[in-house]
Amino acid sequence: MCLSLATLVFACDQFDGVAVRNNESEPLTVSWQLPGGPQRERSPLSPGTTRNVGYLGGPPDPPQDIIVRAFDTTGALIYCRRFSPSEYQKTSIQNPIVLRPGDLRCS
């Protein structure tokens, strides 16, 4: 019975996130957050690596914007973008957003 309940809970959730790629020669640290929420998942992303960042959500919660930030090895912010659901739902591991230094559009 517990297994059935756990399956039902996870079956109702969906991953909402952004597929990002580090094309730089140095590792980057990537974080994400929902607007007004805490910054999450400050984790390294090696050169040439692609990964999904985001959150688990699902009905009845409507999709939300996601803010993605990347930091260089010194901790300096080099990338910041806010993505609407229509933007990030188009991304995938095969079609990621490339983290470009100097792209600071997170308003």
How confident is the model over 12-43, as pLDDT tens digits? 567 778 899 999 999 999 999 988 888 887 88
Q: How many domains does the chain have?
A: 1
Percent of the chain with pLDDT over 90: 56
Instruction: Provide the CATH number for the domain around residue 74.
Output: 2.60.40
Q: Please spell the DSSP secondary structure of the chain, one letter per residue.
A: -HHHHHHHHHHH-EEEEEEEE--SSS-EEEEEE-TTS--EEEEEE-TT-EEEEEEEE-TTSPP--EEEEEE-TTS-EEEEEEE-HHHHTT--SSSPEE--TTEEE--
Residue-number span of the structural domain to which 62 is assigned: 2-105
Q: Is the pTM of this model over 0.85?
A: no
Write down the pLDDT at residue 60. Answer: 62
